[in-house]
C-alpha cells in the first residue's frame, strides 16, 4: 500500500512575513498523509525552522546537476541538504519550457539528487498541442525513459514522479480523474517493465489545478498517490484541505 504524498510547490511566491503566517496556520493542522513544502531557495531556512516538529518535510524546487564549484547562480544538492531539505522538485514544466531543461538534464538532476540522498519529485507531462495531436503517452514515456536511463526504478522510489499535464497547470483546467489515471497507469506499466516490485512502491503524484474541491476524486484513482500543488498550496487552509482529501 503506497502512502499518499502531498507536496506544496510555492513556485516564486512568498515573503518572510507571508511565510510566517502560512507556517503559523499550518502548525495547527494535524496532517494524516506525508507532506512536503517546496519553498524558494532563499526561504528554505525560515520554512525549515517553521516546519520543525510538524512532520512536514522541507523541499526545494530545483537543484544543479553539478557538484559545488564555479557555477554562478546555481544551487547544489549538498546545499539543500545542508539547510534541511529532504526533497527537491526536478524538471517542472516551467523549468523545461522557460529555462531550457531537456529530458537529459532533468534525468541528470534526478540522478544527482538520488546520489546525495535527496528525494526527487520528477515532473513529466504533455503540452496541450501534444495532447491534441494524440501524443500524450509517447511524450510522457520519453520523459520517463530519459530518467530511467540514469536512475533505477528502485532508487527513484525513494522519491516520486509527478504527472502534470502542462495545460492543467495554473489554468484552472484540471485533468479529469480518468485522464490522469490513464496516463499514470501507463507510467506505472512502463516502470513495471523495468522493475515490477519497485514500480508498485514508487509514488506517482498528479499536479495541475488541484483544489480542495477536486482533490478527493483525483486521489481516489488507483495510480494517483497524492498531488503536487501549486496555486492552492499558497493558502495553508486550502493545502490542509487537499491533504485531508488524501487520507
Ligand atoms: P497548480 O500548479 O496547482 O497551480 O496548477 C501545479 C504545479 O505546477 O506544480
Residues 95-122: pLDDT tens digits? 999 999 999 999 999 999 999 999 999 9
Report CA dihedral (189, 191, 195, 197) to the nearest 10 degrees. -70
Q: How many domains does the structure of the chain reveal?
A: 1
Q: Containing domain of residue 189, as a range?
A: 5-245
Ligand 1 mean position to 206 CA, how many Å?
A: 10
Minimal-distance CA residue to ligand 1 atom 6: 230
Our CA angle for 170, 38, 228, nearest 5°, is: 45
Our CA angle for 27, 31, 32, nearest 5°, is: 160
Rounded mean pLDDT, 225-234: 98
**Nearest alpha carbon to residue 118 among 163, 151, 70:** 151
pLDDT digits (tens, 9 = 90+) for 166-215: 999 999 889 999 999 999 999 999 999 999 999 999 999 999 999 999 99
The answer, yes or no, to whether any atom of ligand 1 lies below 6 A from the CB of 209, is: yes
The answer, yes or no, to whether any atom of ligand 1 lies below 6 A from the CB of 169, is: yes
- In sequence order, the 6+-apart residues with CB closer than 8 A to the CB of 86 are 36, 57, 58, 59, 118, 119
**Nearest alpha carbon to residue 240 among 24, 85, 30, 4:** 30
Q: What is the pLDDT of residue 30?
A: 80
* Residues carrying an active site annotation: 92, 164
Ligand 1 mean position to 121 CA, how many Å?
A: 13
Q: How far is Cα 104 from Cα 219, in angstroms, rounded to an integer?
A: 30
Ligand 1 mean position to 215 CA, how many Å?
A: 13
pTM of the predicted structure, to 2 decimals? 0.98
* pLDDT range class, residue 32, cuts 50, 70, 90: confident
CATH of the domain at 13: 3.20.20.70
Backbone angles phi, psi at 127, to 5 degrees: -80, 170
pLDDT digits (tens, 9 = 90+) for 117-163: 999 999 999 999 999 999 999 999 999 999 999 999 999 999 999 99
Best residue among 9, 204, 234 to mutate for probing ligand 1's pocket (most ligand atoms within 8 Å of CB) is 9
Amino acid at each position: 500500500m503506497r502512502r499518499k504524498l502531498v507536496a506544496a510547490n510555492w513556485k516564486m511566491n512568498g515573503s518572510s512575513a507571508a511565510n510566517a503566517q502560512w507556517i503559523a496556520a499550518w502548525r495547527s493542522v494535524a496532517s494524516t498523509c506525508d507532506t512536503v513544502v517546496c519553498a524558494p531557495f532563499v526561504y528554505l531556512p525560515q520554512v525549515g525552522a517553521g516546519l520543525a516538529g510538524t512532520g512536514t518535510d522541507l523541499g526545494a524546487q530545483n537543484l544543479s546537476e553539478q557538484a559545488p564549484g564555479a557555477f554562478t547562480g546555481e544551487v547544489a544538492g549538498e546545499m539543500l541538504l545542508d539547510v534541511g531539505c529532504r526533497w527537491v522538485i526536478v524538471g517542472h514544466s516551467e523549468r523545461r519550457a522557460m529555462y531550457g531543461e531537456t529530458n537529459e538534464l532533468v534525468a541528470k538532476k534526478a540522478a544527482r539528487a538520488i546520489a546525495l540522498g535527496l528525494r526527487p519529485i520528477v515532473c513529466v507531462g504533455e503540452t496541450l498541442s501534444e495532447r491534441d495531436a494524440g501524443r500524450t503517452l509517447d511524450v510522457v514515456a520519453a520523459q520517463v525513459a530519459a530518467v530511467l536511463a540514469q536512475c533505477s526504478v528502485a532508487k527513484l522510489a525513494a522519491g516520486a514522479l509527478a504527472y502534470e499535464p502542462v495545460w492543467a497547470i495554473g489554468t484552472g483546467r484540471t485533468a479529469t480523474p480518468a485522464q490522469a489515471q490513464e496516463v499514470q497507469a501507463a507510467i506505472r506499466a512502463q516502470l513495471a517493465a523495468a522493475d515490477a516490485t519497485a514500480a508498485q512502491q514508487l509514488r506517482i503524484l498528479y499536479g495541475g489545478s488541484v483544489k480542495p474541491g477536486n482533490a478527493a476524486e483525483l486521489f481516489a484513482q488507483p495510480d494517483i498517490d497524492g498531488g503536487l500543488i501549486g496555486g492552492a498550496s499558497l493558502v495553508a487552509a486550502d493545502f490542509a484541505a487537499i491533504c485531508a482529501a488524501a487520507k
